[in-house]
Amino acid sequence: MLGSGVFVGLLLFSGYALGRAPSNLEKKLIGDSFVLEGNQSRSMNVSSCPGYTLTNLQESSTGLTAHLDLAGPACNAFGNDIANLTIEVTYETQTRLHVNIYDTANAQFTLPASVFAPPPPSTFPSSTSDLKFNYNPSPFAFWITRSDEGSDSVPLFDTRISSLPKTPIAPIVAGDESTALDGFELVFEDQYLQLTSTLPLDANVYGLGEVVASSGFRRDVGGNGTNGTIQTMWARDIADPIDQNEYGIHPIYMEHRYNTTTGMSKSHGVFLKSASGSDILLVTPPSSLTSLIQYRMIGGTLDFYFISGPTPKQVVEQYGEIVGLSTWIPYWGFGFHLCRWGYTNVSQTREQVVNMRNAGIPLEVMWNDIDLYHAVRDFTSDPVSFPGDEMRAFIEELAANNQHYIPIVDAAVAKQVNSTDLYYPYISGAEQQVFIKNPDGSEYIGQVWPGYTVFPDWFASNTQQWWTQALKNWSAMGIEFSGIWLDMNEASSFCDGSCGTGANLTNTSVPFLLPGAPGNPVTDYPECYNATISGPSGNITVNGTLTCGAIASSGSSMRKRGVGAGDEPGVDLNTPPYAIHNGNGRLSIHALATNATHAGGYAELDVHNLWGLMEEMATNAALREIYPGKRPFMISRSTFASAGKWTGHWLGDNYSKWQYMYFNIQGVLQFQLFHIPFVGADTCGFNDNTDEELCNRWMQMSAFVPFYRNHNILGAISQEPYRWDSVANASRTAISIRYSLLPYWYTLFANASTLGTPPVRALFFEFPTEPELFGVDRQFMVGSDILVTPVLTPNVSTVDGIFPGRGQVVWRDWYTHEVVNANPGVNTTLSAPLGHINVHIRDGSAILLHSAPAYTVEETRQGPYSLLVSQASDGSAFGTAYMDDGVSLPPGANKTVTFDACKGQLKIGSQGDFNVAQTLDSVTILGTSAPQAVMVAGSLVAGSQWAYTDGLQKLVIQGLNLDLNQATMISWE
């Protein structure tokens, strides 16, 4: 669902809806000065900051510790300089180096271990590490190099002033003085920290999010006529803006370097373990020979992990060792999910299930948005439109058909209106003191969907028990969920500050018009659809005329960042002196006030970015208690580093635009790097109206991303896939492919949960030495073997795509098994009529498939298997399939089946205790010559059971009925 920020033109800040202008429109320039409390002047300029000197060095074979002392008079640019720091450098593993710079007094906020558990303590000999920590003692600076590249190699991370451009540097973004670069010394103040490192000119940088980046998956580092990137780290409820901060916080980046001389490449990663509000700048100063990254934080410490890779996949795996490997997804979670805001009662919800089955479009999971609630309150169902007994019967009907149900849970809990208002989740929570407070100890009262609300305090000792009980009670009242959808958990509030304190609590309205209400119609359509000409149907044609014309999108929701948005006059908790570029302005706008107080004395300013993660941890624990031994299924909006251990993610409140279908790909790729691999976007778009053509193409593409859900907004036209015949046909085809590939998907996610390997990959993840792929994000790979080339523009029947491997890899069409005739290193034009998505198989692969995709995942699993082998030119191919019961946590008995082809032989191996009841029915081998005979386990196969197609070099063997619990050999001569 959405936060109020989606209503473009109605509510940027809550103040607009109330008829008053926000008070924070004037930019705070970095060169200005103003007076703090106590008449202490701040220069707002770091050019006079003295840096630090390293003293008291203690070295060991696994690292060093030392003091860092302020090297001159304090500059106090945005706060008070901290005179005494400690640096700890630890070689933790061969591939990981930990550099932690913190205040010696330990007064600055650091991530509690109860929220973010660091990797288990470990040390590794520095002499055999992949990485090397180098430093200058005065002025202190450090740089990280690869041990095998010698002292002359370009550092991976370099904070030396001599390596950076000369300062001062004029604002990188014209008109935004806060983007000036006044100096590069290490700054460590109580409310401002700054550290800068060089990057190679025009570096290949990926990560730093969550963001919808106009530059694509590869981040803009500036130069070449662009300003670079200001990535703000402040969780924000907003409908998928471009180049602004949004829901999640992930201060991890990967840099990929290619050596033009050797033709080799290496990747490395840099993770800042911090929840502090911050700006991370990627810029290239004019005429500079280097790009740079600069961290500007309004609190916390400088706690860095450097990981050596050297391949992109290894960087992701090594990051998983820091944040924790991703949660196990139940097998059914990979099915197709359906939702919308606007199913107004249980009958209408059930109607969608019936209509999907009548249309023959597989539906695995039915969802409800906040329509479900009574008075828009968490843990309720409306007694008239969603009565508990009818909901229980409906959910039991789903379960009887091997389908599932998921409801929404919003972050805010309704405040009790009066003593006769018996809303148990609030009453019990207030009794147990589980809600966030104001500094004076009173309840912090914000405003969300049910009116005035309170917010769970995850630091309070009773909150976990209260939260679990609320979910248990909800299930007992008829909402027998299979999983939970967590929304609004940045956390979001529609007003500024504790606005319900002393207010009239009976006012349960929200300060804006809901979409589709009189005065706020949903009128926007995809870029080339004009409803004023073609009407509101969204059809591809009206009266035989195409509805896709050459008109521009209104695009008001798709502007790039308006720089200088973060206006924060004042000081301390509510308005830190350095104003990060928060798209909403002051940090408390459309969020909890930064002086809201948590148990243990934590201020919201320090823990704001952790609220969603802590809710995910609590919900995961609750589901494990409610369903012991079963895998929790969760989808959440706001995430922080390590969230993948607990939840999956959807990409928020996107738009029904072709541009956002393209953004869908970069979002999925980002979250592979963030180690939250189970991710997807609202298919066909959430905000605005979709149309037939966009929904057709998007339903196809989403069949090849991990989380597959169609969801749209209240008041928009319906977009269930059965609404248009062409969309229904495309959906049936795409879902059939997806369900046949479920053993492959499940194996990829088993690898993610055990090894950290990303299931979905940018092309250069698999082909890291091909520079033409470094910016490709209009195609993607599922695992190492499936290449997906979706259509991302309207009114076309072809699509361009590049085929990696530079001619050394054979790519075969998924549908026809024909070899693609592609020129190496450049785009090839492919036929892509409406309803067709291009999918290609890489040579050297062996993919286990469900041979009879059925209506549900469970029915599909009960059918036989088939095997698709696409041999390389030398006759080799290899693949694995991981199998277990698909629901247990921790996973119980399991089996790994291997498929190894070489020169006319296929060896099938089997290891593990899980019993595979279904047999292997058929094998298709591509890239082989015509055989004279086929043998299985030494016995000849009847000629009627196999066939060879010469033009495709394709051998199909059927009727095998092979037991996958046993090793087997298939050979052909």
Q: Is residue 30 part of a domain?
A: no
**Coil vs helix vs strand at 940:** strand
Q: Is residue 535 part of a domain?
A: no
Sign of the alpha-carbon dihedral angle for 477, 479, 481, 484 = negative
Residue 668, C-beta contacts closer than 8 angstroms, at least 6 positions apart = 651, 679, 680, 681, 705, 706, 760, 780
Task: DSSP for 450-482, please give it.
Answer: TEEEE-B-TTSTTHHHHHHHHHHHHHHTT---S
- Given a cut of 50, whether residue 11 has pLDDT beyond it is no
Give me the pLDDT at residue 973, please: 82
For Cα atoms 454, 458, 461, give the angle at the middle one, nearest 5 degrees: 110
Q: Is residue 7 part of a domain?
A: no
- Say if residues 972 and 954 touch (Cβ distance below 8 Å): no
410: phi then psi, degrees, rounded to nearest 5: -90, 160
- Given a cut of 90, whether residue 559 has pLDDT beyond it is no
| Beta strand pairing call for 780-782 and 845-850 | unpaired
In angstroms, the CA 972 to CA 947 distance is 12
- Say if residues 324 and 706 touch (Cβ distance below 8 Å): no
Which of 719, 746, 773 delimits the end of a domain? 746
Q: Is residue 246 part of a domain?
A: yes
Domain shared by 345 and 295, yes or no: no
Query: Model confidence over 108-137: pLDDT tens digits?
Result: 999 999 999 989 989 999 999 999 999 999
- Given a cut of 70, whether residue 49 has pLDDT beyond it is yes
925: phi then psi, degrees, rounded to nearest 5: -115, 120
Residue predicted with more confidence, 3 or 652:
652
Give me the pLDDT at residue 51, please: 98
Mean pLDDT, rounded, for 342-363? 98
Q: What is the domain extent for residue 631?
A: 331-520+582-746
- Given a cut of 60, whether residue 55 has pLDDT beyond it is yes
Q: Which residues are catalytic?
A: 487, 490, 653
Query: Model confidence over 564-600: pLDDT tens digits?
Result: 222 223 335 888 999 999 999 999 999 999 999 999 9
Buried b (16+ CB within 10 A) or exposed e, 541-550: eeeeeebbee
Which of 713, 746, 779 delimits the end of a domain? 746
DSSP state of 929: P
Mean pLDDT of the chain: 92
Residue 969, C-beta contacts closer than 8 angstroms, at least 6 positions apart = 905, 906, 907, 908, 935, 936, 937, 938
* Residue 554 in tokens: 């209104």
Residue type, 865: Y
Residue 197, C-beta contacts closer than 8 angstroms, at least 6 positions apart = 157, 158, 159, 292, 293, 294
In angstroms, the CA 451 to CA 290 distance is 52
Domain shared by 73 and 165, yes or no: yes
Query: In degrees to the nearest 10, what's the CA dihedral of 822, 824, 829, 833?
Result: 60
424: phi then psi, degrees, rounded to nearest 5: -60, -40
Domain shared by 345 and 200, yes or no: no
Percent of the chain's residues with pLDDT above 70: 93
Domain shared by 236 and 304, yes or no: yes
Mean pLDDT, rounded, for 865-870? 98
**Beta-strand runs (E) in 818-885:** 827-831, 838-842, 845-850, 865-870, 877-883
Give me the pLDDT at residue 550, please: 46
Which residue do the tokens 């591809």 mark?
Answer: 540
Residue 348, C-beta contacts closer than 8 angstroms, at least 6 positions apart = none
Give me the pLDDT at residue 566, please: 24
Query: In degrees to the nearest 10, what's the CA dihedral of 211, 214, 215, 219?
Result: -20
Task: DSSP for 398-445, please give it.
Answer: HHHTT-EEEEEEES-EEPP-STT---HHHHHHHHTT-B-B-TTSSBP-
Sheet holding 682-683, edge to edge: 679-680, 648-650, 634-636, 484-487, 404-410, 365-368, 336-338, 708-710, 682-683
Distances (CA, A) of 558 to 6, 790, 845: 12, 22, 40
Query: Model confidence over 408-418: pLDDT tens digits?
Result: 999 999 999 99
Mean pLDDT, rounded, for 92-109? 97
Domain shared by 603 and 701, yes or no: yes
In angstroms, the CA 681 to CA 543 distance is 32
Domain shared by 624 and 706, yes or no: yes
Domain shared by 205 and 93, yes or no: yes
Mean pLDDT, rounded, for 363-369? 98
Domain shared by 393 and 280, yes or no: no
Q: Which long-range contacts (CB under 8 A, 24 or more apart) does 416-423 make?
A: 416/505, 417/451, 417/505, 417/506, 417/508, 418/505, 418/506, 423/377
* Residue 510 in tokens: 């929200």
- Given a cut of 70, whether residue 792 has pLDDT beyond it is yes
Query: Model confidence over 887-921: pLDDT tens digits?
Result: 999 999 999 999 999 989 999 999 999 999 999 99
Query: Model confidence over 526-552: pLDDT tens digits?
Result: 999 999 999 999 999 999 999 998 443
Query: Model confidence over 688-699: pLDDT tens digits?
Result: 999 999 999 999
In angstroms, the CA 413 to CA 454 distance is 5
Which of 263, 281, 316 delimits the end of a domain? 316
Q: Is residue 505 part of a domain?
A: yes
Sign of the alpha-carbon dihedral angle for 7, 12, 14, 16 = negative
Domain shared by 710 and 633, yes or no: yes
Closest listed residue to residue 867, CA positions, set 958, 936, 756, 930 = 958
Closest listed residue to residue 219, CA positions, set 133, 280, 298, 137 = 280
Q: Is residue 553 part of a domain?
A: no
Q: Is residue 4 part of a domain?
A: no
Mean pLDDT, rounded, for 159-167? 97
- Given a cut of 80, whether residue 25 has pLDDT beyond it is no
- Given a cut of 90, whether residue 942 has pLDDT beyond it is yes
Residue type, 248: G
**C-alpha of 953 from chain center:** 41
- Say if residues 690 and 654 touch (Cβ distance below 8 Å): no
* Residue 747 in tokens: 């194996």
Q: CATH number, domain at 874?
A: 2.60.40.1180
Give me the pLDDT at residue 42, please: 85
Domain shared by 617 and 498, yes or no: yes
Percent of the chain's residues with pLDDT above 90: 90
Closest listed residue to residue 84, CA positions, set 160, 228, 190, 191 = 190
Domain shared by 412 and 472, yes or no: yes
| Beta strand pairing call for 41-42 and 157-158 | unpaired
Which segment of 275-284, 293-302, 502-511, 870-879 scores lowest on mean pLDDT? Answer: 502-511
pLDDT-based confidence at residue 553 (cuts at 50, 70, 90): very low
* Residue 8 in tokens: 């473009």
Domain shared by 307 and 341, yes or no: no
Query: Model confidence over 684-742: pLDDT tens digits?
Result: 999 999 999 999 999 999 999 999 999 999 999 999 999 999 999 999 999 999 999 99
Give me the pLDDT at residue 253, please: 98
What are residue 223's DSSP bridge partners?
226
Considering its fold, how many domains does the chain have in total? 3
pLDDT-based confidence at residue 279 (cuts at 50, 70, 90): very high
Q: Is residue 682 part of a domain?
A: yes
Q: CATH number, domain at 194?
A: 2.60.40.1760
Give me the pLDDT at residue 411, please: 98
Q: CATH number, domain at 500?
A: 3.20.20.80
